[in-house]
Amino acid sequence: MGLTMQRDANTGIILDGMYYRIDKINFNDVLFQVVMTGYASQQAFQDQNLPISQPRAYTWEYEKNDLLNISIFEYSYNMIKEHPDFKGASDVFENDADIEEHTDEVFNEYDEIINDDFRQEPTE
């Protein structure tokens, strides 16, 4: 599943068919977080092009009961559509088997970048 909008949530740049996906989900007892990444279009994502919008984390408080009788992905997309950055976004349903491989590749690239940033010594 993904979302389409007519603008980049990070910059506000107008782009017809901007396509967003959840690349990562984190949660603990009280906080739920998703990392959204934007592509020029759904086709651009499927063609394994790099995202044009930097991954951005969105965090909110939740209760464990919120996850009863709903998948984590469905909950995540429902909640992110409530965020002001994604108001008016439209759902995009897709073939998960085709998308899963590319999502893993993108996640691994970002994970390496993020981990490298954390490993660097602080500068003054």
* 58 part of a folded domain: yes
* 9 part of a folded domain: yes
Judge contact between 69 and 87, C-beta under 8 A: no
* 82 part of a folded domain: yes
What pLDDT is recorded for position 51?
Answer: 94
* 12 part of a folded domain: yes
* 34 part of a folded domain: yes
Q: What is the pTM of this model?
A: 0.71
* 124 part of a folded domain: no
Cα–Cα distance measured from residue 6 to residue 120, given in angstroms and rounded to the nearest whole number: 37
What pLDDT is recorded for position 1?
Answer: 83
Burial state string for 19-42 with b = 16 or more CB within 10 A and e = fewer than 16: bbbbbbeebeeeebebbbbbbbbb
Cross-strand bridge partners of residue 37: 21
What pLDDT is recorded for position 50?
Answer: 94
* 23 part of a folded domain: yes
Total domain count, the chain: 1
Task: Compute CA distances 47 → 92, 99, 107, 124, whole Å.
Answer: 16, 10, 16, 41
What pLDDT is recorded for position 13?
Answer: 85
* 104 part of a folded domain: yes
3-state SS, residue 18: strand
What pLDDT is recorded for position 107?
Answer: 56
What pLDDT is recorded for position 7?
Answer: 85
What pLDDT is recorded for position 27?
Answer: 93
Q: Which residues contact 4 (CB under 8 A, 6 or more apart)?
A: 17, 18, 19, 20, 42, 89, 90, 92
Domain that holds residue 98: 2-119
What pLDDT is recorded for position 23?
Answer: 92
What pLDDT is recorded for position 105?
Answer: 59
Name residues of the chain where pLDDT drops below 70.
95-124
What pLDDT is recorded for position 15?
Answer: 86
